[in-house]
Amino acid sequence: MKFRGTLGGLNIQLGTDDTPQSVTQPLQTRRALLASGVILEIDVETSLATLDAVRGAVEQAGGHIVRLRAPRVPAPPPRRRLPTEDSDGNSEGSGEQNIQYEEAGHDTAEQSAAPASASEDASTESPALPSTALPHTELPAEALDVEPRRPEPVVLAGGIRAGFRGEYAGSVVVLGDVNPGSELVAGGDIIVLGSLRGVVHAGADGREDAIVWARPIASTQIRIAGAVARAPQGNSLGSMKKLGNTPEVARLKEGQIVIERSNTPPIGSR
């Protein structure tokens, strides 16, 4: 974990090796700095438990997370330009070498003329064969067996209020609750660090291995790929009172949506 002051807030950078236990002490010692706007820079493999620990420490200090972003990558150094050759085979910028070669005298020129005449005789005896250009063929991605790259996950800071509807091409991570009256549609997974009471649709692009993870899952309707699961009338609030903040995961099993308890949150992007 690294800290950096910004204009009006604090920048916190989380790495792959950071855990909820390792970030607790540094956050406590900087409690006064957390009472402002905080920008989080996260690695693609940062665990959701670590994000939850940072979010809790910021809120306890009276601050809030204003933005999440990936770490900045420095621009690569400019390439060094290689010398080019002209039609006589001389490199640009080597004028001194060419001058010394010319001042060597006529003997060198006469010696170089002999191999040239020999090469002319050889070309007369053995004419060059015409070259045949091979046709250019583009292979489809299926033939190359290349898996298309999935979109990067989107992280939403704070809870989702009623009336909100969001559609995302890849996975989505919510750092808060998803309240009733809201709807999330994602082509990948839907991860909620708080309670899930809104309508969600994971694997909207047909991914049957997509999951829904929350603490707990108390939604009135869940969709994964083409399957739909609806809670009985009044069961959503009852599930929240019974489970509290117990982590749960919903996934497809034999074409049916099954909700189970989850001991550990999913780590990284799948």
- Of the ranges 58-72, 115-129, 187-201, which one carries the lowest mean pLDDT score? 115-129
pLDDT score of 170 more than 80: yes
pLDDT single digits (tens) 28-43: 888 877 777 777 777 6
Confidence of residue 20 (pLDDT cuts 50, 70, 90): confident
Highest average pLDDT, of 108-122, 176-190, 223-237, comes from 176-190
Q: Which CATH fold would you assign to the domain 154-261?
A: Pectate Lyase C-like (2.160.20)
CB atoms within 10 A of CB 99: 9
Measuring CA to CA, which residue among 73, 66, 51, 269 is closest to residue 152? Answer: 269
pLDDT score of 123 more than 50: no
Contact indicator for 209, 190 with CB cutoff of 8 Å? no
pLDDT single digits (tens) 181-228: 999 999 999 999 999 999 999 999 999 999 999 999 999 899 999 999
Q: Where are the domains of the chain?
A: 2-69, 154-261
- 156: its two tokens: 């939403």
DSSP 8-43: TEEEEE--TT--HHHHHHHHHHTHHHHSSEEEEE--
pLDDT score of 57 more than 70: yes
- C-alpha dihedral (211, 217, 219, 225), degrees to nearest 10: 10
So what's the pLDDT on residue 259?
Answer: 92
pLDDT score of 107 more than 80: no
So what's the pLDDT on residue 161?
Answer: 94
Q: What's the alpha-carbon Rg for the chain, to the nearest Å?
A: 32
Partners of 221 in the beta sheet?
230
Partners of 165 in the beta sheet?
183
